[in-house]
Amino acid sequence: MANFVKVGKVSDIKDKQMKSFQISGKTILISRFGGKFYATDEKCTHVGGPLSNGKLSDNIITCPWHGSKFDIKTGSVVEGPAKTPLKTFEVKVEGEDLLVNLQ
């Protein structure tokens, strides 16, 4: 069962940017690329680096601490040292609102 929660507005994130949001006790990273929104855990799975302080290039997030790279679409590790993929969350847009499925 979907549990969509409003996190912000479409205008909060420009294309090729990302922003972290606190939602129900979780920190979620929302990235916008190619006009679409993607949500993942905000912490790197290597040692917990803050991905919101990293770099978004195309659809790849690079962790600022040790350089692990993740695909924002799937959460998969593109380059280590991380070995565990990021958890991803479904995002939908309703009007100007951004909603994330926390399930």
Condensed to tens digits (0 to 9), the pLDDT of residues 37-82 reads: 999 999 999 999 999 999 999 899 999 999 999 999 999 999 999 9
Does the 4-101 domain belong in CATH 2.102.10.10?
A: yes
Instruction: Name the pTM for this structure.
Output: 0.93
**Taking residues 70-99, what's their average pLDDT?**
97
Contact 39, 8 (CB under 8 A): no
Q: Please tell me the predicted confidence (pLDDT) of residue 103.
A: 78
